Structure 1
Amino acid sequence: MSIYDFSASTLRGKEESMEQYKGNVLLVVNTASKCGFTPQFKGLQETYDKFKDRGFTVLGFPSNQFAGQEPGDSDDIAEFCQINYGVTFPMFEKIDVKGDDAHPLFKYLTNEAPGLLGSKSIKWNFTKFLVDRDGKVVKRYAPQTTPEQIEADIAKLI
């Protein structure tokens, strides 16, 4: 099994298979527009711009499961990300990233890369998962780990 076995709907409502990213290094992030870590959108976009021509993509998955910090609908989220941070990397519809109703992709990611003390649950917004070109989860990063701090790991996989 790999990340390519899953699909998700974009902010525009189009179902996309993760297989379309086959051969790319991916950084999968659960995002929120009203979080203390929201300014990481700037770093995510800069990291995406830096490596996108070398086979790298950021995939953003908004979630409202942490203190209601992603209250908007898909249009609100798209507008916020574009206007405030110039986001051009793929963003998907708001999903659950933890619990019984967690999106299957996030159940897979958390199973493949448990967090601190083996926890499979996502604790907060902006948890990040680095995925290699074969669709295998390489590493999980805490919300406070900035995109810039991950760039060396990305560079090794590209």
Structure 2
Amino acid sequence: MLQESHWLASLDALRLECDGMTRVISALLQRDGIAHTPMMGSLNVETAGRIAPHCWVELEDGRRIDLRARMWLGDKPGVPHGIVPAHAVDVRYEGATFQVVVNPIVFWALTDTTMDDFGSADFLASSAPVAHAGTRSGSRSRKPPERDPCSNVD
């Protein structure tokens, strides 16, 4: 739990909005071989409001990593922050996948440091059974993957 708290705090301290944060988190998860999906869409929190567009990372077990919902919805009860349970109450994520291509120069531009300066995210590796995309329950809709609009790679 200490490793998780330290990892999340080091990311939360970055001066990034949700899109940059999602790119950084995805790069670190790719580095550590942790399956995940970068997502872009909307977040609706029944008690606080809606954000669109919004970006976050989904893990294979349904949990989400979202460190920027509070930037726009405030620190109200129910607004997710950190590692969000798959079935968080009154929270609805909807979106499409996008691809993050790891580029050390882009990572440096976003964080002013290297990926090596961040600890491992191995604590995120799930021991729970992994549901397949066609059978996963949850409150999001999936669309076909889109090309990363900020990437020069076709």
TM-score by length of 2: 0.27
Q: Of the two structures, which has the highest relative contact order with CA contacts closer than 8 Å and spacing of 6 or more?
A: 1
Higher helix share: 1
